[in-house]
A and B are shown apart, each in its own frame.
Chain A
Amino acid sequence: MSADDVHVVDPEPVDAFRTRARSFIRANLAAVGRRGRGDFSRHLPDDEELAAVARAREVQRLLWDHDLAGVCVPREYGGLGLTPAHQQALNEELAGYEFPRHLQTPTMSPCMAVLLDFGTHEQKLRHIPAILRGEEIWIQFLSEPSSGSDVAGALTSAVRDGDEWVLNGSKVWSTGAWWSDWALCLARTNWDVPKHRGLTVFMFPIHQPAIEIQRIEMLNGNREFCQEFMTDLRVPDTDRIGEVDQGWTVGIRWMFHERMAMAHNEPVMTWPADGAAGFSGPTVLVDVAREVGRLDDPVARDLIGRSYMTSLVGEPLQRRLAEGMAGGHLSDQAASIARLHGWEVTKAAMTVPFELAGAAGGAWSDTDDTLFGLGQGFLVRQAIAIAGGTVEMARNVISERVLGMPREAASDRDVAFRDVPRGPTGRP
Chain B
Amino acid sequence: MRFDRTPDQEFFRETTVRFLEEQAPVATLRALRDDPVGAPPDYWRRGAELGWTSLLVGDEHGGGSISGDGLADLVLVAHEFGAHAAPGPLIAANVALHALAAAGADHAATIAAGVAGDALCVWAHGEPAPDDRLGTVTGTVTPDGDDVVVDGTKRPVEAGAEADAFVVTGVTDGGVTQVLVPADAPGVTVTPLTTVDLTRRAAAVTFAGVRLPRSAVVGPLGGAAAAVRRQEQLAAILCAAETTGAMQRSFDLTVEWAFDRYSFGRPLASYQALKHRFADMKVWLEASHAASDAAAAAWSAGAPDADARASAAKAYTGEFGAELAHDCVQMHGGIGVTFEHDLHLYLRRITWDRVVYGTPADHRQRLAALLIGEAA
Whose C-beta in chain B lies nearest to the C-beta of A321? B286
- Known contacts A308-B308, A313-B316, A324-B3; A302/B275 CB under 8 A: no
B265-317 at interface with A (beta carbon < 8 Å): 266-267, 269-270, 272, 275-276, 278-280, 282-283, 286-287, 289-291, 293-294, 308-309, 311-312, 315-316
Interchain nearest-CB distance for A334 vs B (Å)? 8
Is B255's CB within 8 Å of the partner chain A?
A: yes
CB pair A308 B279 closer than 8 Å: no
The answer to whether residues A308 and B368 also contact, given A313-B290, A317-B290 and a CB cut-off of 8 A, is yes
**Number of interchain pairs (Cβ within 8 Å):** 132
| Chain B residues in 8 Å Cβ range of A337 | 282-283, 286
Most buried by B among A301, A334, A402: A301
B4: shortest Cβ distance to chain A, in Å? 7
Known contacts A304-B368, A329-B3, A402 near B293 by CB under 8 Å: no
Q: Is the CB of A320 within 8 A of B315?
A: no
Interface of A, secondary structure class, is helix
Nearest opposing residue in chain B for A326, CB measure: B3
Asked if B367 is an interface residue, CB under 8 A from chain A, the answer is yes
A residues in contact with B308, CB < 8 Å = 308, 312
A294-307 interface bits toward B, Cβ cutoff 8 Å, 1 = contact, 0 = none: 01001011101110
In this complex, the member of A298, A327, A340, A405 whose beta carbon has the largest number of chain B beta carbons within 10 angstroms is A405
Q: Which residues of B contact A300 (CB under 8 A)?
A: 368
Chain B nearest CB: distance from A118 CB in Å?
29
Asked if A394 meets B279 with Cβ closer than 8 Å, knowing A308-B312, A313-B290, A337-B286, the reply is yes
- Interface residues of A, CB < 8 Å — how many? 46
Q: Which of B319-355 contact A (CB under 8 A)?
A: none
Chain A contacts for B370, CB-based, 8 A: 308
CA distance A295 to B278 in the complex (A): 37
Which single member of A305, A317, A324, A341 contacts B364 (CB below 8 Å)?
A305
Neighbour of A308 across the interface among B272, B367, B373, CB < 8 A: B367
Q: Is the beta-carbon distance between A323 and B371 smaller than 8 angstroms?
A: no
CB distance from A219 to the nearest CB of B (A): 26
Taking the closest CB of chain A, its distance from the CB of B314, in whole angstroms, is 9
Q: Known contacts A298-B365, A308-B308: does B3 contact A395 (CB below 8 Å)? A: no
Q: Which residue of A lies closest to B4 (CB)?
A: A323
Which residues of chain A are near B267, meaning CB under 8 Å? 406
Name the one of B279, B290, B371 contacting A319, with C-beta atoms under 8 angstroms: B290
Would you call A320 and B289 a contact (CB within 8 A)?
yes
A285 at the interface (CB under 8 A from B): yes
Q: Establish whether residues B315 and A305, one from each chain, have CB atoms under 8 Å apart when the complex forms.
A: yes
Complex Cα distance, B312 from A402, in Å, reads 26
Inter-chain contact A395/B286, CB cutoff 8 Å? no
Point out the residues of chain B lying under 8 angstroms from A295, CB to CB.
372
Q: Pick from B290, B293, B366: contact of A305, CB below 8 A.
A: B366
CB distance from B303 to the nearest CB of A (A): 12
**Chain B binding site: helix, strand, loop or mixed by DSSP?**
helix
Q: Is the CB of B371 within 8 A of A286?
A: yes
Cβ of B84 under 8 Å from chain A: no
Residues of A within 8 A of B309 (CB): 312
Q: Are B280 and A340 in contact (CB under 8 A)?
A: yes
Q: Is A398's beta carbon under 8 Å from chain B?
A: yes
A283 located at the interface, meaning its Cβ lies under 8 Å from any Cβ of chain B in the complex: yes
Residues in chain A near residue B279, CB distance under 8 A: 336, 340, 394-399, 403
Q: Is A366 engaged at the interface, CB distance under 8 Å to the other chain?
A: no
A residues in contact with B3, CB < 8 Å: 320, 323-324, 327, 329
**Contact pattern, B 106-127, Cβ under 8 Å of A = 1, otherwise 0:** 0000000000000000000000
| Given known A301-B364, A301-B368, contact A408–B293 (CB-CB < 8 A) | no
B137 at the interface (CB under 8 A from A): no
Candidates B270, B278, B289, B312; contact of A312 at CB < 8 Å: B312
- Judge if A4 is at the interface, Cβ distance under 8 Å: no
Contacts of A397 in B (CB 8 A): 279
State whether A340 touches B283 (Cβ < 8 A). Answer: yes
- Say yes or no for B363: interface residue by CB 8 A criterion: yes
Cα separation A106 to B370 with both chains bound (whole Å)? 36
A residues near B289, Cβ cutoff 8 Å: 320
In the complex, residue of chain B having the shortest beta-carbon distance to the beta carbon of A305:
B364
Any B CB within 8 A of the CB of A33: no
Once A308-B367, A320-B3 are accepted as A-B contacts, the answer to whether A313 and B291 lie under 8 Å apart by CB is yes
A242 at the interface (CB under 8 A from B): no
Q: Is the CB of B283 within 8 A of A282?
A: no
Min CB gap A31→B, angstroms? 20
Most buried by A among B290, B294, B369, B370: B290
Known: A309-B311, A395-B276. A403 touches B255 (CB 8 A): yes
Measured CB to CB, the nearest residue on chain A to B258 is A405
Q: Does A117 contact B (CB under 8 A)?
A: no
A424 at interface (Cβ–Cβ under 8 A)? Answer: no
> In residues 237-290 of chain A, which contact B (Cβ within 8 Å)?
282-283, 285-286
Give the Cβ gap from A63 to chain B, nearest Cβ, in Å.
29
Contact between chains at B278 and A403 (CB < 8 Å)? yes
Indicate whether B32 reaches chain A with its CB closer than 8 angstroms: no
For A286, list chain B residues within 8 Å (CB): 371-373
Q: Does A316 contact B (CB under 8 A)?
A: yes
Please state if B278 and A399 are interface contacts (CB–CB under 8 Å): yes
Is A12 among interface residues, defined by CB-CB distance under 8 A?
no
7 A-B pairs closest in CB distance? A305-B364, A399-B275, A316-B294, A398-B279, A395-B279, A301-B368, A316-B290
20 contacts between A and B (CB under 8 A): A286-B371, A286-B372, A295-B372, A298-B365, A300-B368, A305-B366, A306-B367, A308-B308, A308-B370, A313-B287, A316-B294, A329-B3, A336-B279, A337-B286, A340-B280, A399-B276, A399-B278, A399-B282, A405-B270, A406-B266
User: A302-B368, A306-B315 known; 8 other A-B pairs, CB under 8 Å?
Assistant: A285-B371, A305-B315, A305-B367, A329-B3, A340-B279, A340-B280, A402-B282, A406-B270
